[in-house]
Structure 1
């Protein structure tokens, strides 16, 4: 059974209720009610004037304000407001004259037992017509509320549109960043496997199997906004295992993992660029080198990643220079996905002569 679309009818219902309360308040606050006999023409005029106010309200809200005020035509908007108020007052006076309401009210408002406005000889002497200041103030109040309502609605619409545009911009940028990271990683990996086929065919087959598992992760996990921490760490382990197949004994690789892993949601492909940077710039064919990849979970909500590698003079191991597309984009992804919830400390040269990255991430 389809649900009733309450949000679709909520705004018209609110308008009906507000106008009903407005009309009821005018009725209850009228000082002459309950004291004198009121002719039927009085109620006809009140209904027509109320209709004039309703028309002026929506004319201002949906015509004058959007076409004049929102287009910075302030002078013309003031003129339109004054003309609308004058039109309502003129129509009210014409209605009163058409109904001959002034004479009827003078006759019905005579005090009991008095002659009212009757002079000598019994001739009726109508009261002089007075300007209805209360109607003017009510008209201006209606026009002011109409202008305020239209301005607030536009502000809310503009705010919602800005938020939607910002969200679309962030989503597009994240998709662009992930699209840059993935080819960057796989191009390097395929080059490694190509070199490995010449050296050890069995190791190359194992590398292809590992790469296929990693590709499955990329195809099915990275399109989502988040993945589980265990899957992300398994992906990093596969990458490290793949890289170790082509390293010599001069390279020492140390891994530290939380045991057990407390699964929490994390953005996919977020940790790999730091590990990839270490293997890209921390390995030498002639000198001993060391790579440390440590993942810690002090609490289920906090994740720490420490990656350090031997620093060589030739290739500059910097997150901002010479470190490839992936690392620069990871910094940008952290700003977009975890604003104010991460700290990234980079040490270009430690006392041990290493390049070190320390990331602390507040996940949830």
Structure 2
């Protein structure tokens, strides 16, 4: 790709100079053209313009202007322009004497003062200098911007990876903590839970390393986790859930919803009171609406059944992945905890 871009750049430069060298013939099409006049007044200055342009583009701008040696840059270019002006005059007097005599006679009759002529010539030689500065500066800005975006993207990916790795042990230890409570009272359910957990961890380890996964796989993962959690709760807790039954074709960042379901089972279940956990997901086109409603039984401050990083982790990931394309709200009303998460996946 880089080799192809270089070829395109070289071709565009050659085409631009070819057009400039052809301009005298294009503008005087159908008229008699003096070749000596074209060479002296057009082609020689263009060669000098090209020299100023490329000398600045490849050498002077990088070595002086971009490293804040502005005065040296101005002085060197002043010397170069003065040299080319004198060289042009010398070439005209040496090789184009007849043309020089005609120009001298015309200048005496109707031409502008010598100072004005020198001023205009100087300005014409500054044009390729300014043009080279503009192109070089633009190219440098584009490169800097690309590097900045690459660095920002690398930082984003690193942070997301960190959050992803942070979530895995959090989920694993919370699940083990739940299974531990079954070992003595319900050993057979504990065995079943361990087997189910192994399937869930296999998904987390091997299928969630991609940026996006099919929503259908996430739904299957959540259903298995809900079934796993239902093994350890009593009949006093009613768990209902509703997910899209058909494949929506939506792809989503992995493991966005599991922290909310974990949180519902952690704070929405009581050993002595009746409780309800209701989980609903609706999809409309490419938008996802995820709602969890559960009774609220706040844990005591000395309860170590969870590290408390799940929801914080989720908020950070949502901000990084769906900065302006999500709405996340949590409310507590009448001892009921309600979570609403809307995500626009387009």
Q: Which is greater in Rg?
A: 1
Q: CA deviation at 1:181?
A: 0.8
Contact 1:253–1:290 (8 Å) recurs in 2: yes
Which structure: greater helix fraction?
2
Change (3 A) 1:336 1:37: closer
TM-superposed deviation, 1:54? 1.4
Whole-angstrom CA distance in 1 between matches of 2:65 and 2:300: 61
SS, match of residue 273 in structure 2: coil
Going from structure 1 to structure 2, the CA distance change for 1:72 and 1:211 (only over 3 Å counts) comes to same
Shift of 1:359: 0.7
Structure 1 segments unaligned to the other structure (5+ residues): 111-115, 118-128, 317-321
- The 3 A distance-change label for structure 1 pair 169 and 337 is same
- Provide the secondary structure at the position in 2 that maps to 1:38: helix
Deviations 1:219-262 (A, max 9, x none): 22210011111110111111111111111223222212233352
User: Tell me, which stretches of 5 or more residues in structure 2 are unaligned?
Assistant: 106-112
Match of 1:126 in 2: none
User: CA–CA distance in 2 between the matches of 1:52 and 1:252?
Assistant: 86
Rounded Cα–Cα distance in structure 1 between residues aligned with 2:3 and 2:66: 31
Match of 2:7 in 1: 9
- Normalised by the length of structure 2, the TM-score is 0.85
Deviation, 1:148, is 0.9
Q: 1:212 to 1:85 in 2, by over 3 A?
A: same
Correspondence for 2:18 = 20
**Cα distance in 2 for residues equivalent to 1:361 and 1:106:** 77
Query: Is residue 2:337 matched to residue 1:355?
Result: yes
Q: Which residue of 2 aligns with 1:87?
A: 83
* Pairwise CA distance, 1:26: 4.9
* Equivalent of 2:261 in 240, 265, 275: 275
Partner of residue 324, structure 1: 308
Q: State the partner residue of 1:235.
A: 221
- Tell me how far apart the structure 1 counterparts of residues 36 and 214 of structure 2 sit (CA, whole Å): 77
Pick from 124, 136, 139 the counterpart of residue 150 of structure 1.
136
Q: How many residues align?
A: 333
Quote the Cα distance in structure 1 between the aligned partners of 2:36 and 2:289: 82
Mean alpha-carbon deviation: is it higher for 21-30 or for 243-252?
21-30
Structure 1 residue 315 displacement after superposition: 4.0
1:258 aligns with 2:240: no
Normalized against structure 1, the TM-score is what? 0.81
Distance (Å, rounded) in 2 between the aligned partners of 1:208 and 1:285:
22
Equivalent of 2:99 in 101, 105, 130: 105
Other-structure match for 1:339: 323
SS at match of 1:243: helix
CA contact (8 A) 2:329 2:339 kept: yes
3-state DSSP class of the match of 2:184? helix
Within 2, Cα distance between the matches of 1:38 and 1:91?
Answer: 17
* Number of the residue aligned with 1:61: 57
- Alpha-carbon distance in structure 1 between the residues aligned to 2:248 and 2:35: 82
Change (3 A) 1:15 1:172: same
| 2:307 equivalent to 1:311 | no
Query: Against the structure 1 CA distance between its residues 272 and 36, is the aligned structure 2 distance closer, same or farther, given a 3 Å change threshold?
Result: closer
For residues 246 and 35 of structure 1, the distance between their equivalents in structure 2, rounded to whole angstroms, comes to: 98
Choose 198-207 or 222-231, whichever is displaced more: 198-207
Tell me how large the CA RMSD over aligned residues is. Answer: 3.1
Deviations 1:270-328 (CA, angstroms, capped at 9, x unpaired): 1101111111222233333322221122x132211111222224448xxxxx8722211
**Does the Cα contact within 8 Å between 1:180 and 1:326 map onto a contact in 2?**
no
Q: Distance in 2 between matches of 1:235 and 1:135?
A: 76
How far off is 1:106 after superposition? 4.8
